[in-house]
Amino acid sequence: MRLRPEQQDEIASQRSQTRSTRRATVPALEEILYKSFPVLDHGFVRVVDYMGDDAAIVQAARVSYGRGTRKVSEDRGLINYLMRHRHTTPFEMCEIKYHVKLPIFVARQWIRHRMANVNEYSARYSILDNEFYLPGLEHLAAQSTTNAQGRDEVLDPTEAQQVLDLLRLHAERAYRGYTELLNEDAAGTPIDPARPGLARELARINLSLGFYTQWYWKIDLHNLTHFLSLRADPHAQYEIRAYADVILDTLACWVPMVHAAFLEYRMNAAVISATGLTVIRRLLAGEEVDQASSGLSGREWRELMATIGR
Ligand SMILES: Cc1cc2nc3c(=O)[nH]c(=O)nc-3n(C[C@H](O)[C@H](O)[C@H](O)COP(=O)(O)OP(=O)(O)OC[C@H]3O[C@@H](n4cnc5c(N)ncnc54)[C@H](O)[C@@H]3O)c2cc1C
């Protein structure tokens, strides 16, 4: 169950209330506030709070630019300028808070982003739901032979089905073991009233990385774009990218000018090394350049050629 009934009630109650405020609000984000957006088979992302908007960034930037801002006085132009030149502190003036349900292995990658505030569901205090991630058949792929951190060809359907069956079997067995250790069924009733259940903080060690957890995650806009530049990127693992893509959509609702600047100057832009720039200049001058004469490694050469579409 993606959302428990009490969570559905909470969302309905949150969405039915409105409050008056003198603070800046963003109608497009208000529209989706508290709503849950499905991710993977049981996960979701929902925005639960935010502070600031595009104008707040401009306002903060103008404190530091003062009269000198006249030339870039258009808000969009100023935001583009800030993004392009990595003048990052005005973006830290905005914050957003998400409620996320995600598999533990995705959470392990996500938690590496230290410049955020996290409060996770406690499996010492509560019992984890019987929910584990099973990849779609189209995502069951072989280990990449060229990238140690990646996938290659999708498995053939028969093999993929066998993998899926095995993953399901192991996860179900693990959850059964968990409830046996707890000595409680899903409703919290003792299975064998004559024996004590193992502490929740210990019973959970029987579960695997595919089980779902939940957390509240609060981050400022500068660090959020940093997170998205790494995780909404083809180099990131598909499963965390699926969450980053949904978050990227919420960014478009919240701060459309920042979203556009982020796509233009960060996400769809490229960083080119000094040697790479020399190669481009030589090519533009009509010189024949190959990898051997470029001064780049084979990998860098391939990346540069892909970037410039050769
Ligand atoms: C494709 C991919 C593969 C990865 N593979 C691995 C892997 O194999 N093994 C692994 O361990 N990790 C791996 N990571 C995680 C990666 O190394 C980073 O830990 C993660 O992306 C968080 O980045 P960050 O530190 O910039 O972000 P944050 O922790 O949010 O920090 C944001 C910025 O704040 C500053 N900062 C934060 N904390 C400190 C600090 N203590 N000291 C100095 N500056 C700080 C830095 O400038 C940092 O860039 C991978 C990440 C990606 C995207």
List, for residues 148-158, the tens digit of each pLDDT value: 777 778 888 89
Question: Beta partners for 46?
Answer: 99
Residues 6+ apart with CB under 8 A from 80: 261, 264, 265
Q: What is the mean pLDDT of residues 159-180?
A: 94
- Can you give the pLDDT at residue 66? 57
Three-class SS of residue 72? Answer: helix
Tell how far the Cα of 263 is from the centroid of ligand 1, in angstroms: 21
Q: Report residue 213's pLDDT band, with 50, 70 and 90 as the boundaries.
A: very high
Taking CA atoms only, the protein residue closest to ligand 1 atom 27 is 113
Distance 111 CA to ligand 1 centre (A): 10
Dig out the tokens for 221 from the structure: 């806009």
Any ligand 1 atom below 6 A from CB of 223: yes
Whether 228 is in the pocket of ligand 1, judged by its Cβ within 6 Å, is: no
Atom of ligand 1 nearest to the CA of 235: 1
Looking from the CA of residue 236, the nearest atom of ligand 1 is 1
Residues 208-229 as b or e (16 or more Cβ within 10 Å = b): bebbbbbbebbbbbbbbbbbbe
Give the model's pLDDT for residue 145. Answer: 74
CA-closest candidate to residue 43, choices 13, 75, 3: 3
Active site residue 231: yes
Q: Residue 63: what pLDDT?
A: 81
Rounded to a whole number of angstroms, the CA Rg of the chain reads 24
- Integer Cα distance of 33 and 17 in angstroms: 11
Rounded-to-integer distance, Cα 44 and Cα 36, Å = 6
Residue closest via CA to ligand 1's atom 41 equals: 114
- Per annotation, catalytic residue among 200, 204, 231, 241: 231
* Helix 221-231 with 238-254: angle, nearest 10 deg: 140
Is ligand 1 within 6 A of the CB of residue 237?
A: no
Residue 47 bridge partners (DSSP): 98
> pLDDT tens, 246-284?
999 999 999 999 999 999 999 999 999 999 999 999 999
In the predicted structure, residue 74 carries a pLDDT above the cut 90: no
**Residues paired with residue 34 on neighbouring β-strands, in sequence order:** none
